[in-house]
Each structure stands twice: as C-alpha cells, then as structure tokens.
Structure 1
C-alpha cells in the first residue's frame, strides 16, 4: 500500500489509517541529501533533503510496518539523551501550515520534521499466534494483483526446483479472520512418514486496502537446509511472477530487487 501526502486531507487520511501510530515504535531513521553542481559558482549546492522514518505498529488485528518518506525537508531534529528512548511512540501529531507538513513523533519533539510532502509505504500482515515449533525465518510479501498464488502453483514451482513437497492444510481459523484465504504447511518429501517437525508454514490473506494480497512464509522447526531452500525458492518465484514489496524484519524491499538483495546479503530471510 502506498499513499502520497501533501494536503490537510491527506494528513487526515494518514492519521485515520494509522491511528497516529499509537503504541508503535521507530525502528529506523535515515537522512539523505541531494546536491547539484552550480556551473556559475563552481560549487555543489543543496537541492533536496529527504528523511525516512520506519515505524512498526499494530492496529485492528494487523501488524504493520510503515515507511514514511519526507522530501523537501527544511527542518529536522532528533535528540536522545543518555538513558532515554525516543523510539517508542504514543501517538504522533501532524499539521499542514503554509504548504509545509510538520510531524512530531513524540510529545517532547525529540524527533521532529518539517517537509514539503511525504510518501507512505506500508506492508501489513495479520497477527500470528505463537507456533509450538521454533520459528527460524519469516518472509512477508504484499502483492499488487488481486489474485495471489495457489497451493498447486507453489507445489509445481517447488517440483521444478527439485524439492518436491507435500501439503497439509491448517485448521480452519475463526470466522472473524475475514482477510484469511488459506493456510497450511509445506514439508519436503524426504521427511519420513508424517513427521511435520520441520516445514514452511504458508499463509495467504487479502489486502487490507483495496485490491491485492499478502503472503507470509515461516520456516518452522529445527534448522534444516531443505526447509530453508523451500522458503528461499518460493520467495524467488513469487517475486518473479508478482509485483509488490517484500518485508524482512522491518526492511522493505521492492520485489524486483529481492534476488539482488538476497545475493548481496548472502542469506535467506530472517
């Protein structure tokens, strides 16, 4: 989900959609400056300052990771005294005055920004119950198309990759889980009998806003090379077929850049 923020109406939408990020916390703050070369003076001049704040929060039964990109920043401050923690949010405040957006991320104004416009990008997934097996890795993808992957498609892709798996559907969830489409476990066929102590739990759900789908892959059980490969192959095949955004921890990665990111980091999702 992406939304451009420029006006008072946009700010009202932001506060209503996020609940003001109540009880969330800031996981990352980045600032970048763009400079241009001025031929008349022979110097580089500041052209734009961008500040990006990543926030993790929960609302309406969903875990959300939001990236607020503020461009045209003219005033920015972050101040944290020893022993203090300004990353925890109660509820942010925002206003639009004289064509400028102002954000106070905490009551004391220790994290504060003034900008010309902002852009919100967000990935949301249902709250997941604690699984009895250890969770070794998690990968989330938010797709733009209305139709997401099917069980048969996942099984076919794994067969072609040389790691055939069996599928067992999970128990039906509560009727109130209206976004849920289907959920179950993929287990490599080499696992003996009905042993399901090592598997990839797959959950597919509908988009919170408009068209789209979400999918969460979780590697469960003891450390196992084949299970890790199942998760990695599925992540690669999903990003190749569908456009969208990946989420690893609180890091958002455009789907088209996923394989490059994984190769650069040299590891599977965590």
Structure 2
C-alpha cells in the first residue's frame, strides 16, 4: 500500500484506516532537506523539506508498520522532556486547512508537522500474543496481487534455485486467525543435522486491504547457514515473481529494490567486520 494524502477526504480515510494509530508508538523520525545552487545569489537555496515517521500499531487483529512521509514541510517540531517518552501514541490528530496538512502525533504537540501533502506506506501481518517478541531474523512481504503463491510453487521454486526443502505443515488451532491461508516450516533436505536445528517458518495470509496477500518468513530454532539460505532464497524468489514491498525491521523496501538493498546491507556488514590481524 502506498496511498497519497492530499485533501480532506484523504485525511478522513487515513484516520479511519489507521484508527488514528491509537495505542501505537513511533520508532523512527527522519528529516531530509533538499538544496539547489542559485547562480544569481551564488548560494544554496532550500527547496524542500521532507519528514518521515515510522509507526508500529495494531488494529483489526493485524500488526502494522506504517511509514508516513510528509512532503513540503513548512513547520516541524519534536520535543521530549527528560524522562518522558513521546513515542507512545494515544491517537494522532490531523486536519486539512488552506491547502496545508497538520499532524499532531500526541495531545501535547511534542511531535508536530505542517506540510503540503503526505503519503502512507504500510505492511501488515497477523498478530499473536504468544509471538509478540520480535524475531532476530524475520522478513515480511506484502503484495496487492490476487494471484497468491502456493506451498507447491514455493517448494518447486526453491528446488529450481538449488535449495531443496521439505514442508512441515503447522496444525490448525482454534486461536489461528482466519486470514492465514497456509503455515508451516521449510526444512533443508541436504543435511539431517541442520534439519534438527530448525528451518524457516513460512506463513501466507490474506486477503489483505483488498485482494492482496502477505508472507512472513522467520528463522526458527538455532540459527544456521542452511536456514538463513532458505530465507534469503525464498525472499528473492517472491520479489522476483510478485510485485509488492518488503519489511525488514522498521524499514519498508519496494520489492523492485530488495535485491540491491540486500546486497548493499551485506556489503556494509562485511565492511563493518574488524580486519584480521
């Protein structure tokens, strides 16, 4: 989902869709300024300011990570007193007047933005109380496409990519959400010892905000090279076959940029490692 917010009707949709982010919390705030060189004054001139805010919240039995990008910012303030935490949100207030959007991210106005327009990007997934703890290695993908991947397609694609796996289906329970279409564990077939260490939990859910679907992949059990390879290969196969966006931590990545982003992050990890002495 990537929805523009430009007028009063859009503001009403935003507050209705998100429930005003009630009970959520802000994890990241980013500000960027764009400057151009003005030959007449021989100075750089500020041309645009953009503020983006990442919010994690829950609504309608779904855990959601939203990126609200505010463009053409003319007023921006963030204030947090010592010992206070303005990241927690009771409810976001928004209005559209005289062609300007105004956002109050808490009743005291400690996080306040005025801008020309905004856009909402979001990735959603089922929420379970017994899975509230963040997994160290988790990858989420959301697509608007009505053509969902099947377990058989995923297994065939992994086999074709040189990563053969077996499928261990998760038993359905009374607490399982109706949006979950299939769920199980991908286990490596090449090494019995690595199979015992655990594989990759895979879950497909939908329909979601329309005819689309979502997939969550997360490493189960002890981390091992085989499980990490399964997750990485399955993620690559999904973004190559289906349009959508990925979620890694608090970062939302367009599917078309996933491969280059992953390569860059891998290179950064290598560069950050201490050199051998």
TM-score after normalising by structure 2? 0.89
Higher helix share: 2
The CA deviation at 1:243 is: 1.3
SS in 1 for 2:17: helix
Unpaired segments ≥5 residues, structure 2: 270-277
> Which SS does the other structure have where 1:217 is aligned?
strand
In 1: Cα distance, 2:135 partner to 2:109 partner: 37
> 5 Å matches for 1:74-153?
74-128=74-128, 130=130, 135-153=135-153
1:150 Cα deviation (Å)?
A: 1.3
Distance 1:163 1:5 in 2: 43
Equivalence for 1:68: 68
CA distance in 2, matches of 1:210, 1:5: 19
- Give the conservation status (yes or no) of the 8 Å contact 1:136–1:223: no
Residue 23 of structure 1 corresponds to 23
Cα separation, 2, equivalents of 1:213 and 1:220 = 22
Residue 163 of structure 2 corresponds to residue 163 of structure 1: yes
Distance of aligned partners of 1:174 and 1:137 in 2 relative to their CA distance in 1, 3 Å threshold: same
Q: Which runs of 4+ in 1 moved over 6 A?
A: none
**Is residue 154–residue 234 contact of structure 2 (8 Å, CA) maintained in 1?**
yes
Query: What CA distance in whole angstroms lies between the structure 1 residues aligned with 2:33 and 2:207?
Result: 34
How far apart are 1:100 and its partner, in Å? 0.7
Measure how far apart 1:237 and its partner are: 1.1
Per-residue CA distance 1:135-172 (angstroms, 9 max, x = gap)? 54110001121112211121112212322111122112
User: Aligned equivalents of 1:229 and 1:128: distance in 2?
Assistant: 26
2:52 matches 1:52: yes
The alpha carbon displacement at 1:60 in A equals 1.0
8 Å Cα contact 1:136/1:221 also seen in 2: no
Matched residue, 2:39: 39
Q: What is the CA–CA distance in structure 2 between the aligned matches of 1:203 and 1:64, rounded to whole Å?
A: 16
Whether 1:200 aligns to 2:200 is yes
- State the distance in 1 between where 2:246 and 2:142 align: 7
The count of residues paired between Structure 1 and Structure 2 equals: 265
Shift of 1:178: 2.9
Q: What is the CA-CA distance between 1:9 and the residue it aligns to?
A: 1.2
TM-score, L = length of structure 1: 0.92
Is residue 64–residue 122 contact of structure 1 (8 Å, CA) maintained in 2? yes
CA displacement, residues 43-69 of structure 1 (integer Å, 9 cap, x when unaligned): 222111111011000111100000000
Larger mean Cα displacement after TM superposition, 69-78 or 35-44: 35-44
Unmatched segments (≥5 aa) in structure 1: none
| Correspondence for 2:254 | 254
Q: Is the 8 A contact 1:138 1:218 kept in 2?
A: yes
Q: Is residue 2:219 matched to residue 1:219?
A: yes
For the residues of structure 1 that align with 2:22 and 2:49, how far apart are their CA atoms?
A: 27
CA RMSD of aligned residues (A): 2.1
Q: CA deviation at 1:176?
A: 7.4
